[in-house]
Structure 1
Amino acid sequence: MLPGSRPTHSCSPMTTVLLALLLITSSLLQLQAQDPAAAATATAADTAPNLNWLHARGNEAMTGLSPTQLNLPLELVWTFTTGDKARKEGVLATPVVKDGKVYIGGQSGRFYCIDLATGKEVWKVEKESAFEGNAGFSGNLVIAGCVDSFVYAWDATTGEEKWKFETRGEIHAGINTWKNAEGKEHVLIGSYDNLLYCLDAATGTKLWEYETTNYINGAAAIYEDKVVFGGCDGMLYVIDIATGKEVKTIEVGAYIGNNIAVDKGIAYITHYGNKVAAFDFNDGTKLWEYGERDFPYYAAAAVSDEWVVAAGRDKRIRKLERATGKEVWEFRTRGDIDGSPLICANQHVLFGSGDGYFYALDLSNGEEKWRYEIGADIKVAPAVAGNFILVGADDGNVYCFKNVPSPAP
């Protein structure tokens, strides 16, 4: 007799389990038949290990690392349009992700919340100027700077504006956030008014500001109790994070357009003087400098325990020895590389190029392992959230790829 034909009150424990499994299977089949996208969403949400990418470069120190192991080839699962390609409304910010929602702004002046699994819009806000820097998170707030000179904070669930803070210049830089010893959250962001600001994340109240002598274009890195950043004045700044007081300034000598990666008291800098350099930011010593060609570096470096990976406008990306700056390998694309590379699981390098391709290289030898033709310049770093990989491009689209896990043995 079939289990379903028995009276429910007389089912044995084993029969009850079988019946429950049959009902669950039937429900899933009905869900898939009625709404395949919803079924796929549920599956993706259940299997992804961590649907967060809270910092644009993977961490507060901006080292450009992800623990996710890539299983190539990656599979494109959705694209999302943030702007008008004809009007050149591209994406210049790295997406950030929290709880399965993607947050990204574009040159269109629109800032979006997108469902990670489906690529569907959850909410958007629109301003008159572009969003070019990455957003950040504090509690249930998502916070981003805008070229209109304001820093905005929205409810991450609804998009309702909670506060805004006005600087005296355009904001092209990304957000970084930190908590003090009491657990109070703060926002760090630079502006074209030459100031780095520290704001109370809950209210937008200014806590301190630090003045440089030129624009601040990149996000500030955080290492222990210090803020480390550079700017258009060619200086490396080390600031006490609690007070905003200067700890040290170091002359680099050329425009620094992006963030600085910091680890173990060392700052790894790429700049417009055509160099990649490492500085001890405690005593100001230059540890090494690399520069073989007369082309500037805009993309920020990725830094692992042993290696520094840097990409430049000479169309090349290189692996350098972290201790010495000695080149190990180089890989050439067909376009300038302004998109900061990401090191994944110490095995692959993921980056986009001005030639319109999104690449994955073998970190050990620089061999190309995968590429995808997007067809538009990629000027931003990728983001990795669970088994999803995101990158924006100059065509105004955000591209989402699925990193399909290897089957269990």
Structure 2
Amino acid sequence: MDRKYKIPFALAILTTALVGCSSHKAKEKEVKPNPLPKIAVSQSLAPVFSINVSQTNKIDPLRLRLDTENGVIFAIDPKGEVEAYKGKQRLWKVKVNKHGLTSGITAANGMLFVGDAKGHLYALDQENGQQKWIAQLSGAIISAPFVQNDRVITVANDGTIFANDIASGEQTWTYKMPDPQLSLRGQATPVALDPRTVLVAGANAYIYGIDTVTGIPRFQRRVAVSDGRSDIQRLIDIDGQPVVSGQYVVTVSYQGQVTVLDMASQRVAWSEDTSSLVGPEVAEGKVFVSTSDGKIEAYDLASGQKVWSNEELLNRKLSNPVFFDNSLVVGDLDGYLHLVDPDTGKLLGRAKSSGEVRTLRVVDAQLYSATSKGAMTIWQKR
């Protein structure tokens, strides 16, 4: 059975395990999100650009995103369209396909790269949206492609990493990661480890360093373990994007750990039990994690000592945290963006978008957000 059919099944089992049956006893155990905390707002955010595209399927929570290059903003619509904006003026809009797009968009080298559920990787011209080439991959593409050394690095849903020539789309190499029998619907976007090595996180709790030119693996390292008894309890995907900070690689896994790998010694510097489906953030010598149950935790990057933990947003389905203009920002299920003091964990303020916040990024000193209802926004501090 192909993995893309296993994933909804795993999610259905997981949902049943978390929520329970329809009995009165199970209903009593149903977890409700914390009410929005009352705070004395000292900081806020103001939108500088915003568009609305089609909303995504609640059962299949895709992490779409905006991207930018040379002052032009690029956005995708899950229904299959790509748009380009200069400021608030739309430069062009094209229909890429009829069945929709499922990955975030990547802008690089004057081109755009985006994928769909049928494994098609599209390359478009940034100037006009004209299609340059299409490549067929082995499975759905649900994370944004990554570009390095004239290679477009993309991870298919079956765990195969593809490298395509940026100019022609010709496949230059592939690498197959182990494909667990059960995994959650998610895939971290590859990141650069160094100028020639791409770092890819797998659903098997391993990270892989691969030479982007040759496709030769340079290392692989297990960064999380699980002691669960059942298949569901042993799910240990790394769905959040790893962070490279100096000599350290920081990862966080579902039902696993936040782990800091010291690349200088090739050893794990420290690891602490936690669970998250979104990536960590590293800033000011700290590691920040949004946990699956809604905590925000801060650890010392070098020692792993917990600095603080905030539980005011429990069960609010927090997004990945990002460091923006001296504050930590995290989104929630109601579209709120919460500003957090990175030193103390105190809530400093909030702003409102529309729909569950799925993706936060900081690009060129601006905050980018995307929600389940298709609200894509760029923010600045108010």
TM-score, normalised via structure 1 length: 0.71
2:254 is equivalent to residue 272 of structure 1? yes
Residue of structure 2 equivalent to 1:395: 373
Q: Residue deviations 1:106-152, cap 9 Å, x none?
A: 4333333233x226463132424443433223322111222220111
Residue of structure 1 equivalent to 2:332: 353
- The number of residues matched between the two structures is 323
2:67 is equivalent to residue 96 of structure 1? yes
2:192 is equivalent to residue 222 of structure 1? yes
Residue of structure 2 equivalent to 1:237: 208
- Structure with greater helix share of residues: 1
Residue of structure 1 equivalent to 2:231: none
Deviation at 1:309, TM superposition (A): 1.1
Deviation at 1:313, TM superposition (A): 1.4
Residue of structure 2 equivalent to 1:342: 322
* Residue identity in the other structure for 1:341: P
Distance 1:86 1:309 in 2: 28
Pairwise mapping of residues 161-176 of structure 1 onto structure 2 (< 5 A)? Answer: 161-176=131-146
Residue of structure 2 equivalent to 1:291: 273
Structure 1 residues 308 and 131, CA gap change in structure 2 (3 angstroms): farther
* Residue identity in the other structure for 1:107: P
Deviation at 1:380, TM superposition (A): 0.8
Distance 1:374 1:129 in 2: 27
After alignment, is 395-404 or 352-361 more displaced? Answer: 395-404
Indicate conservation of the 8 Å contact 1:81/1:398, yes or no. Answer: yes
Deviation at 1:170, TM superposition (A): 0.5
* Residue identity in the other structure for 1:155: D
- Indicate which of 198, 207, 212 corresponds to 2:163: 198
Residue of structure 1 equivalent to 2:353: 374
2:97 is equivalent to residue 123 of structure 1? no
Q: Residue deviations 1:266-291, cap 9 Å, x none?
A: 32111112421112356652221122
Indicate conservation of the 8 Å contact 2:360/2:367, yes or no. Answer: no
After alignment, is 207-216 or 223-232 more displaced? Answer: 207-216
Structure 1 residues 308 and 108, CA gap change in structure 2 (3 angstroms): same
Structure 1 residues 124 and 363, CA gap change in structure 2 (3 angstroms): farther
* Residue identity in the other structure for 2:253: H
- DSSP 3-state at the match of 1:360: strand
Indicate conservation of the 8 Å contact 1:197/1:206, yes or no. Answer: yes
Indicate conservation of the 8 Å contact 1:145/1:171, yes or no. Answer: yes
2:127 is equivalent to residue 157 of structure 1? yes
Gaps of 5+ in 2: 1-41, 181-185, 226-235
- DSSP 3-state at the match of 2:360: coil
Indicate conservation of the 8 Å contact 1:90/1:106, yes or no. Answer: no
- Computing the radius of gyration from Cα coordinates, the structure with the larger value is 1
